[in-house]
């Protein structure tokens, strides 16, 4: 309930969501974030091979998180919650945001990997015809990732190098 522009002090669902976001951004600024070493290693390998990369995230804070982790410059394309809302793209598990990112990269889904740790993201990649769809098990469980459409499941992205 409420309006997406409700102040964090408003006692509405939107106000509480905005308060949560404000607290998250404060924590991000004060504490930063550290990327998984295996993720950085994979990004290094992809860059060395000249493979363009995109980030597709439902978060409206994706760019800030990438910057805080020192990874923002590694991605040619970022399709986040801000972009999706601005373009009217359906969120995951619909494939719209992934399809948009592939288009911006000049790539086809059939020749574009999706790497996801969320079940909705895995389902999104599978629904869009991306190949391969890689599930990263950071708690969702191997069986659940496979059931959602992952073709490959890894515990650490370094396994893909």
* CATH code: domain of residue 148: 3.40.50.1000
Q: In the prediction, which pLDDT does 17 show?
A: 78
Q: In the prediction, which pLDDT does 20 show?
A: 83
Q: How many domains does the chain have?
A: 2
| Residue span of the structural domain in which 11 resides | 1-31
Residues 19 and 56 in one domain: no
- For the chain (161 residues), the mean pLDDT of every run of 10, in chain order, is 77 79 78 92 98 95 92 97 96 98 98 98 99 98 98 98 96
Residues 37 and 52 in one domain: yes
Residue 107 vs residues 27, 38, 60, 103, 157: alpha-carbon distances, Å:
36, 25, 24, 6, 22
Residues 27 and 40 in one domain: no
N-to-C CA span, the chain: 46
Q: In the prediction, which pLDDT does 115 show?
A: 98
Torsion angles phi and psi, residue 7, rounded to 5: -65, 150
Report the alpha-carbon distance of residue 16 to residue 20 in Å, rounded: 6
Residues 73 and 144 in one domain: yes
Q: In the prediction, which pLDDT does 135 show?
A: 99
b/e per residue, 48-64, with b = 16+ CB within 10 A?
eeeeebbbbbbeebbbb
Q: What is the pTM of this model?
A: 0.86
């Amino acid at each position: 309930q409420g309006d997406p522009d409700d102040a964090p002090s408003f006692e509405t669902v939107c106000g509480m969501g905005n308060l949560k976001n404000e607290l998250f951004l404060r924590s991000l600024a004060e504490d930063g974030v550290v990327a998984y070493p295996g993720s950085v290693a994979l990004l290094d390998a992809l860059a060395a091979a000249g493979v363009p990369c995109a980030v597709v995230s439902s978060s409206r804070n994706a760019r800030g998180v990438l910057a805080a982790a020192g990874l923002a410059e590694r991605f040619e394309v970022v399709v986040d919650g801000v972009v999706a809302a601005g373009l009217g793209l359906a969120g995951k598990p619909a494939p719209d945001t992934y399809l948009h990112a592939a288009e911006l990269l000049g790539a086809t889904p059939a020749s574009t990997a999706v790497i996801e740790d969320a079940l909705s993201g895995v389902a999104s990649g599978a629904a869009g015809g991306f190949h391969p769809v890689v599930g990263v098990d950071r708690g969702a469980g191997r069986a659940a990732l496979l059931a959602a459409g992952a073709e490959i499941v890894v515990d650490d992205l370094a396994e893909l190098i």
